[in-house]
C-alpha cells in the first residue's frame, strides 16, 4: 500500500475545568454523582429558560487558542446546532459555527525524528450532551454531563500517518494540562477524539473522500483505528471501488471499524444564530491579560531543561511530560544547589526518572500522591553522595519514604542503615577477611587484581552491607600491600 498516503484531520473535544456548567450555575463536577442530580431547568432545556455565558470557559478557550498560535477574532457569536438525539434535551446544542473564538493556529512537534507542523483550523466552545447507558433492551439517559463546557479543537488534514496522529494528541493533551484548562483524561471522557481520514495516491494534491471515525477512547485506539482505515480505504481504491462518505465506529474487541451512518453535512444541522445569547465582543486588552497567564509550555520547558540542566532530550521529555513532575524536579534542583554538597541536576533526574518513577508505577500513583517533598529527596541523595549510606540502602530508604512520609534521616537511624566508614571500625573486619581467605590474597599478590572484588564482597558480607565500599577498597589495598 506504499502508493497511497493518508490525510488525517482530528477533532478533539476537551471538557473544561470550570466550577459551573457552560450556561447555568449547576456544578460541572458530575463524576460519581447520582444520575440526574447535577441538573436544572436550563441544562435540561425546559421551555422559557435562558442561558448565561460562563466567562471562565471563554477565557480558557481563548488561552488554549493563544497557546496554539491562533488568531483571536474581536467578534464571535453562538449558534444553535440542531439534531434530535435522546441525550440532547433541548433538541439542539449551543455551539459556534462560522465565528469561533480562535482560528488559524498550529501545533508543532517532533515525531520519528522529524519536525511536524499541523494546522489548527479553529478552537470553539460549546456545551456537552448527556450520556446514554444501554441496559438490555432499554436505554437510560443521565443529564449530569449535559451543559458542561466543551472546547473543540479542529485540526487541518495535515497529519499523514497514524503515528503522527497519536503524537499530535499526546502533545495537545500535554498543553491542555499545562494550561490547567482541562484534566484531558480520556478514560473519564474529558478528552475525546474523532478522526477524519481520507486516502489518496502519493503525489496527488486533491484530497480523497473523508471518512469519520468515532468511539476511540485511548491513544492506542486512535492509532489502531487509523491504521485499519488506511488499509481498508487503500484496498478499495486498488480495486477501483468507491469510498463512501460516512461515519464509522471503532470496535476494539474486533480491531476494525464498522459503518454507523452516512456523514452529516453542515446544512444537516440547520445552524442559525442563538437568539438567547448576544454576540460576544473580545477586547484586545482582555486577550492580552489572558496571554500573560499562559505558563511556560511543555516544548519550551523541555528545551530549557536540555540547555540549563544539561539533560538529554529523552530525560527532559520524560520530566516535562507532566507539569507537576517538572515542578517537583525543578524544586529539587534548586534545593540541591544549596549546601556543602551540591547535587547536580543530572543526579536528581536519575533518581526521579528511575527510583521515584518505579515506585509511582508500582503503586499506580501520580506525583500528587508522593508523601515526601523535593527537600526530602535531596536530603536522601546527599546522604548517599556523602557516603553516609550506600546506593542500595538509599533505594530502601526511598521506598520507606514513599510509604510513610518519614524523613530520610529518621529512616536511616531507625533501621540502622548508616554506612561504616571509620577506619578503626573496619580494620579488624578486613584483617579477619584476609586471614580467612589466603587463596584470594595470594592470587591478588600474584597479580590477579580481580581477586580484590571478591575480598571487598566478603567485607561487605561481614558488615551486612553497611561498610562504605570506597573506604573498604582503599583499606584492603593498603592491608594487602603490607602483606606483599
E-state strands within 169-311: 191-201, 211-216, 246-251, 256-262, 272-273, 280-281
Q: How far apart are CA 172 and CA 179, in angstroms?
A: 11
Tens-digit pLDDT string for the chain (484 aa): 568 899 999 999 999 999 999 999 999 999 989 999 999 999 999 998 999 999 999 999 999 999 999 999 999 999 999 988 889 989 999 999 999 999 999 999 999 889 999 999 999 999 999 999 988 888 999 999 999 999 999 999 999 999 999 999 999 999 999 999 999 999 889 999 999 999 998 888 888 899 999 989 899 999 999 999 999 999 999 999 999 999 999 999 999 999 988 766 656 779 999 999 999 999 999 999 999 999 999 999 999 999 999 999 999 999 999 999 999 999 999 999 887 778 999 999 999 999 999 999 999 999 999 999 999 999 999 988 887 788 888 999 999 999 999 999 999 888 776 655 555 667 777 788 777 888 877 877 778 888 788 877 887 787 777 777 777 777 778 777 777 6
In this structure, are 209 and 335 located in the same domain? no
Same domain? 131 vs 266: yes
CA 211-215-219 angle, to 5 degrees, is: 95
Same domain, 211 and 108: yes
The answer on 83 and 154 residing in a single domain is: yes
**For residues 89 and 129, what is the distance between their CA atoms, to the nearest angstrom?**
8
Q: What domain range includes position 81?
A: 4-291
Q: Judge if 313 and 281 occupy the same domain.
A: no
Q: Does residue 244 share a domain with residue 326? A: no
Instruction: Tell me how many domains the chain contains.
Output: 3
Q: How many CA atoms lie within 13 A of 254 on its CB side?
A: 6
Nearest-10 crossing angle of helices 451-462, 423-436: 120
399 contacts 359 by C-beta, under 8 angstroms = yes
- Number of helices (H), then strands (E), belonging to the chain: the values are 16, 15
d(CA 323, CA 359): 19
Same domain, 199 and 79: yes
C-alpha to C-alpha distance for 476 and 474, rounded to whole angstroms: 6
Cell representation of residue 37: 442530580
Task: State the burial class of residue 120 (Cβ atoms within 10 Å of its Cβ: 0-12, 13-18, 19+).
Answer: buried
24 and 73 share a domain? yes
Residue where a domain stops, chosen among 376, 399, 415: 415
CATH code at position 473: 1.10.10.410
The pLDDT of residue 458 is 84
- Shared domain check, 468 and 378: no
Residue 51: partners with Cβ closer than 8 Å, 6 or more residues away: 22, 23, 24, 42, 94, 274, 276, 277
On whether both 285 and 306 belong to a single domain, the answer is no
Q: What is the pTM of this model?
A: 0.86
Q: How many residues does the chain have?
A: 484
Residues 113 and 74 in one domain: yes
Question: How far apart are alpha carbons 471 and 426 in whole angstroms?
Answer: 9
Amino acid at each position: 500500500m506504499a502508493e497511497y498516503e493518508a490525510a488525517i484531520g482530528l477533532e478533539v473535544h476537551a471538557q473544561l475545568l470550570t466550577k459551573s456548567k457552560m450556561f447555568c450555575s449547576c456544578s460541572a463536577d458530575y463524576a460519581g454523582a447520582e444520575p440526574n442530580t447535577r441538573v436544572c431547568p436550563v441544562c435540561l432545556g425546559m421551555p422559557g429558560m435562558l442561558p448565561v455565558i460562563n466567562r471562565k470557559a471563554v477565557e480558557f478557550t481563548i488561552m488554549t487558542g493563544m497557546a496554539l498560535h491562533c488568531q483571536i477574532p474581536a467578534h464571535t457569536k453562538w449558534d444553535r446546532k440542531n439534531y434530535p438525539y435522546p441525550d440532547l434535551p433541548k433538541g439542539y446544542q449551543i455551539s459556534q459555527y462560522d465565528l469561533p473564538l480562535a482560528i488559524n493556529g498550529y501545533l508543532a512537534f517532533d515525531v520519528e525524528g522529524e519536525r511536524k507542523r499541523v494546522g489548527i483550523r479553529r478552537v470553539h466552545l460549546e456545551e456537552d450532551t448527556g450520556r446514554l447507558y444501554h441496559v438490555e433492551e432499554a436505554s437510560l439517559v443521565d443529564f449530569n454531563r449535559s451543559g458542561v463546557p466543551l472546547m473543540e479543537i479542529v485540526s487541518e488534514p495535515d497529519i499523514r500517518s497514524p503515528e503522527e496522529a497519536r503524537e499530535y494528541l499526546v502533545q495537545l493533551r500535554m498543553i491542555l494540562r499545562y494550561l490547567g484548562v482541562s484534566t484531558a483524561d480520556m478514560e473519564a471522557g474529558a478528552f475525546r477524539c474523532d478522526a477524519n481520514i481520507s486516502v489518496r495516491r502519493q503525489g496527488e494534491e486533491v484530497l480523497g473522500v473523508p471518512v469519520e471515525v468515532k468511539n476511540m477512547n485511548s491513544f492506542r485506539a486512535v492509532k489502531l483505528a487509523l491504521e485499519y482505515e488506511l488499509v481498508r480505504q487503500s484496498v478499495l481504491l486498488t480495486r477501483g471501488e468507491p469510498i463512501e462518505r460516512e461515519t464509522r465506529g471503532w470496535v476494539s474487541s474486533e480491531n476494525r471499524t464498522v459503518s454507523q451512518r452516512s456523514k452529516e453535512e453542515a446544512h444537516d444541522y440547520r445552524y442559525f444564530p442563538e437568539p438567547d445569547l448576544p454576540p460576544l465582543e473580545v477586547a484586545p486588552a482582555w486577550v492580552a491579560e489572558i496571554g500573560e497567564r499562559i505558563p511556560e509550555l511543555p516544548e519550551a520547558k523541555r528545551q530549557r531543561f536540555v540547555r540549563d540542566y544539561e539533560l538529554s532530550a529523552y530525560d527532559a521529555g520524560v520530566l516535562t511530560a507532566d507539569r507537576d513532575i517538572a515542578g517537583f524536579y525543578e524544586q529539587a534542583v534548586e534545593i540541591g544547589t544549596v549546601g556543602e554538597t551540591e547535587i547536580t541536576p543530572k543526579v536528581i533526574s536519575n533518581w526521579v526518572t528511575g527510583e521515584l518513577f518505579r515506585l509511582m508505577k508500582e503503586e499506580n500513583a501520580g506525583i500528587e500522591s508522593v508523601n515526601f517533598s523535593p527537600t526530602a529527596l535531596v536530603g536522601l541523595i546527599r546522604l548517599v553522595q556523602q557516603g553516609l549510606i550506600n546506593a542500595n540502602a538509599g533505594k530502601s530508604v526511598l521506598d520507606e519514604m514513599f510509604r510513610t512520609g518519614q524523613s530520610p534521616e529518621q529512616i536511616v537511624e531507625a533501621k540502622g542503615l548508616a554506612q561504616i566508614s571509620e577506619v578503626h571500625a573496619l580494620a579488624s573486619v578486613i584483617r579477619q577477611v584476609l586471614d580467612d581467605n589466603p587463596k584470594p590474597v595470594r592470587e591478588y599478590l600474584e597479580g590477579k587484581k580481580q581477586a580484590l572484588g571478591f575480598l571487598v564482597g566478603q567485607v561487605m558480607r561481614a558488615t551486612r552491607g553497611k561498610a562504605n565500599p570506597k573506604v573498604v577498597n582503599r583499606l584492603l589495598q593498603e592491608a594487602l600491600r603490607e602483606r606483599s
